[in-house]
Structure 1
Amino acid sequence: MRFDLKSFQFVDSEHAPNALAIAAADRSLTWAQLRTEASAWADEARKHGVAQDIPVAIYGHKEASFFVAMVGALLIGAPFVPVDTIYPAERLRRIVEIVRAAAVYDAASGTFTPGEGAVLAERGLAYVMFTSGSTGDPKGVQIGRESVGLLGDWMLGSFGLGDAPVFMNQAPFSFDLSMYEVFATLASGGACVLNAREQIAAAGTWMPRLAEHAVTVWVSTPSFAHQQLANRDFSPATLPALRTFLFCGEPLPSALAKKLRQRFPDAVILNTYGPTEATVATTWIEVTDAVLAAHDPLPVGHAKPESVLIVDEGEICIVGDHVMRGYLNRPDLNEAKLYTYADGRRAFRTGDLGQMEEGGLLFCRGRMDDQIKLNGYRIELAEIDEALHALPGVEGGACAVLRRPDGTAVRLIGFVAGVAAEDQSASLLAPAALAGWKERLAQRLPPYMVPSELVACPALPMSNNHKIDRKKLVEIYSGIPA
């Protein structure tokens, strides 16, 4: 059994209905059970106003019911809006307000909380994924049902994942990387092993759990895989079925790829690239020994079938039916970022700098703006700036990024100005007046966007074009005595 991403219905296949579909943090479901529960969920959701083109927010972490709800929404034709428990209550409230969801489904309790229930102007969406916004508000990326069908076709047709692959799912469902596992599992009739944060933290039992379910495809950011290298169980001896590493969300360092090649010599390493606005990813390449010998930094690969890549004045632009249908209620952003290509298809200006080699091999060279990736999460620094500025007594706030030599983001440092202190010229450390700043920021921002440190300075440095000079902020931080 599998879930067809063209008809959006369960269909029979060579895979038995009693085969594993979902091994969640709380319980497991066969394909037959997934079909039964998704159909029942859809019936219940309709009673709460969820209908075709009327969105439903799904709140939770790695419960089986979260996956069931996403499939149930696909059955109805209702766009699902995934929100992980990592987000504070205020952010959930704001997302529900923006999308005007019919209801919020709590996957842990199995209950619906009623909402507005407005029909979206954009019809035929599969999901709306909210990402960090430069205005201080999250922005909704609208992904069409045709786009997820193309995603499934690409993964099964190009990645060599084998028959009925078993995916390791670790990224929150509110992080679009996780849509790799969701839609490839549905399209293939394979299985998805959902891993909660507390399960991953228990290293002694987590890897054996993956082995128990015979995981064949590891999906994560490179940073997450790098963290596992310290675990001796992260090896072919413990994970004999693992045959593919699928990376996305941030640059894959060549040093990490080499370590993985040594640790898992028989596994395939796939490096992919793409923004949320292009349905998870657009390019791919198998990182072989020959690729490692020829390139450092590594390329992000060639364009997926039926898509076009353009590097226009240094900016990567993506063309194809997998490009989003636009940002929800943001005509200003749509005008700036979307355009119609010569063949009539949607095109998206990514804001990523790129370089194209002969033959269409693409390399990413950073960003044109203040958007960054930290452990795979896309972050607009301006959103953190807004939250810092809202702290009591602060007249100006800004966030800077500490990076590794290869340019990868490591930590966020917050800076504030205008806070009363006895002698700010003598110390750049945060004054006692800002006690509890982390807790205040956590009410507005998810944990991965809260800076690890806060620094008070007399004034925020400005560049010649009157923007915050984030490079100067890093220099200020580097000059603080240890």
Structure 2
Amino acid sequence: MYFDLHEMQFADVALDGERLAVAGSDRGLSWSALREQAGLWAQRARSLGAGPDVPIVLSGHKQAAFFTAMAACLMLGAPFVPVDSIYPEERRRRITDLVGAPLIYHAGTDAFETTTNAAKPLAEKGLAYVLFTSGSTGEPKGVQIGRESVRLLAQWMQASFRLGAAPVFMNQAPFSFDLSMFEVFGTLSQGGTCVLNSREQIPDGPAWLQHLARERISCWVSTPSFAHQQLLNKEFCTAGLPLLDTFLFCGEVLPHALCRRLKQRFPQARILNTYGPTEATVATTLIEVDQAVLDAHPVLPVGYAKPDCEIEIHDGEICIVGEHVMRGYLNQPELNQARMFRHPNGRRGLRTGDLGRLDDDGLLWCLGRRDDQVKLNGYRIELSEISLALQALDEVKNAICLALRRPDHTVVRLIGFVEMVRGTNVQGTNVRGTNVRGTNVRGANVQGTNARDTNAWGAGAWTPYPAASWKPALERRLPSYMLPSEVVTVDAFPMSVNHKIDGKALLEGYLQNPKQ
């Protein structure tokens, strides 16, 4: 059995009905049970006024019922709006108001909540989901993804990812994070299994990995940073996860060092690197990072464009063209005008805000964000370029360069942060340098994620990384004005709820560190 994304109905219902479809953090559902419960859920929603093009907010965290609700919304033709309950209540309510949803479904209690909003169809018809991302103004932006876009995502995964029949996906990204749509639509379209992992399960590393092994996961889906964290557990290897044959990464730069270590732990597993903004239905490019790619590219490319898609570079900016591009931001015509365009071939186009370059074969490198550019001592500097140079240092597992700013947003200096391969002994000297406290940077508005995983990280053991260990290598790649003032090692990077490096928390910890 599987879910037909053209008909938006379950198909081949007489086949493999007892095979596991969803392993929630609370319970499991076979394909027959998923089909039955999705049908009952749709009936309940209809009785409360739900219908085609009327959005429904889904709130919860890794319950089997959350997955059921997404499938049921597809059957109804009602766009689902996933809002993970790990996010603040105020943000969840604001999203409900912005999308005008008449219903909120709480997966944890299997209960519908009616709002004061009328059951009004959205202006944009035929949407599969609306996913809210953080806006630069602090107001969430609703990204409208059409049903045609999720069909293209599923077709691409089936044709190009080589995940085998009925893959078993490891899902840990919040459903509010579009990375999780790989697992949702991959499971539905391929008749696979989605193993949902809650924040409560993951910290118990050995027991959690044993759980994944029992569920027979074959495809690991996460940000690179989340996989980095698992390397601390010696059971994160082929012996512990014998059926894991594919790592699927998106959402961050994929470090060379991580790939090398994964190939040591999982010599038979393939590593897939993808790139794409939420506005382009999860991902747009793909490359398998094999040994030849690692040997040829010190900085890893993000891949080749998916079928029926074009990637162009306009003034250094990556632009994406295709029917997988969003239908626009919800109720934001000015932003749509600025970010979207109609290509001469008639298809939707997106200005991503990401910087990149294409080689003659169409291989893409992502070089950071336009808004990642800072000005220091008269020079315009791309922080991402420094981050990539730091990541290429020996024994560095992951790295990022951040700008320390004054309250007026002017840049004081550049700080490199590195996480070393476990066991590396960094002998440091006192490299305090500039008197940071005297520059009045406390309280500066440093860009970062809106929701931080503060429970998972503290200041930790900060160690100056001596200039002799990094400066000569960086001087070979960067002009002198781009060299950071200092490089600091940390035990582990702080992560946002989406398991991306939390730059704001890093800088806050840096300022609070007594060494500074």
Return the TM-score normalized by structure 2.
0.76
Name which of 192, 200, 203 aligns with 1:201: 203
1:3/1:186 contact within 8 Å kept: yes
Q: 1:162, CA displacement in angstroms?
A: 0.3
Deviations 1:382-422 (A, max 9, x none): xxxxxxxxxxxxxxxxxx999682395488989758xxxxx
CA shift in 2, pair 1:445/1:363, >3 Å = closer
The SS at the match of 2:329 is coil
**Alpha-carbon deviations, 1:98-155, whole Å to 9, x = none?**
0000211110011111121321000000000000001110000000000000100000
Q: What one-letter code is carried by the residue in structure 2 that aligns with 1:11?
A: A
Whether the aligned pair in 2 keeps the contact of 1:86 and 1:447 (CA below 8 Å) is no
Partner SS state of residue 200, structure 1:
coil
Q: Please say if residues 79 and 127 of structure 1, whose CA atoms lie closer than 8 Å, have aligned partners that are also in contact.
A: yes
- Deviation of 1:204 (Å): 2.0
How far does residue 49 in structure 1 lie from its aligned partner after superposition?
2.1
Counterpart of 1:147? Answer: 149
Closer/same/farther in 2, CA of residues 113 and 370 from structure 1, 3 Å limit = farther
Q: Would you say the 8 A contact 1:251–1:408 is kept in 2?
A: no
| CA RMSD across the alignment | 3.2
Which residue identity is paired with 2:104? V
Distance change >3 Å, CA 13–CA 359, structure 1 → 2:
farther
> Is the 8 Å Cα contact of residues 238 and 266 (structure 2) preserved in structure 1?
yes
Q: Does structure 1 residue 446 correspond to structure 2 residue 451?
A: yes
- Contact 1:413–1:452 at 8 Å: present in 2 too? no
Letter in 2 for 1:150: L
Matched, 1:258 2:263: no
Q: How many residues of Structure 1 are paired with residues of Structure 2 in the alignment? A: 424
Quick one: higher RCO (CA 8 Å, sep 6+), 1 or 2?
A: 1
* CA distance in structure 2 between the aligned counterparts of 1:415 and 1:100, rounded to whole angstroms: 39
Q: Is the 8 Å Cα contact of residues 168 and 192 (structure 2) preserved in structure 1?
A: yes
Say yes or no: does 1:277 pair with 2:279.
yes
Amino acid at match of 1:248: C
Contact 2:195 2:215 in 1 (8 A): yes
Structure 1 pair 61–302 and aligned structure 2 pair: CA distance change class (3 A): same
- 1:72 aligned to 2:72? yes
Equivalences for residues 19-38 of structure 1 within 5 A? 19-38=19-38
Contact 1:56 1:78 in 2 (8 A): yes
Kindly indicate whether residue 86 of structure 2 is the aligned counterpart of residue 81 of structure 1.
no
Show the counterpart of 2:495. Answer: none
Q: 1:75 is aligned with what amino acid? A: M
CA distance in 2, matches of 1:414, 1:282: 34
Distance in 2 separating the partners of 1:429 and 1:148: 45
2:47 corresponding residue in structure 1:
47
User: 1:106-145 maps to which residues of 2 (within 5 A)?
Assistant: 106-115=106-115, 116=117, 117-145=119-147
Secondary structure in structure 1 of the residue aligned to 2:138: coil
With normalisation by structure 1, the TM-score equals 0.82
Gaps of at least 5 residues in structure 1 are 373-399, 418-423, 435-443, 454-470
5 Å-filtered alignment, 1:226-245, equals 226-245=228-247
- Contact 1:86–1:446, Cα closer than 8 Å, also in 2: no
Matched position secondary structure for 1:260: helix
Q: Does 1:303 align with 2:305?
A: yes
Paired amino acid for 1:256: L
Cα displacement (A) at 1:51: 1.1
After superposition, the Cα gap between the structure-2 partners of 1:91 and 1:452, relative to the gap in structure 1 and judged at 3 Å, is farther
> In 2, Cα distance between the equivalents of 1:415 and 1:23?
48
Query: By how many angstroms is 1:307 displaced?
Result: 0.5
Separation in 2 of the partners of 1:90 and 1:477? 29
| 8 Å Cα contact 1:22-1:191 kept in structure 2 | yes
User: 2: distance between equivalents of 1:425 and 1:408?
Assistant: 24
Instruction: Indicate yes or no: 2:361 matched with 1:359.
Output: yes
3-state DSSP of counterpart to 2:145: strand
Partner of 1:346 in structure 2? 348
Task: Provide Cα deviations, 1:20-55, integer angstroms capped at 9, x if missing partner.
Answer: 000010000000000000010111111222210000
CA 1:240–1:411: 2 relative to 1, 3 Å: farther
Partner of 1:172: 174
Percent of matched pairs sharing the same residue: 53
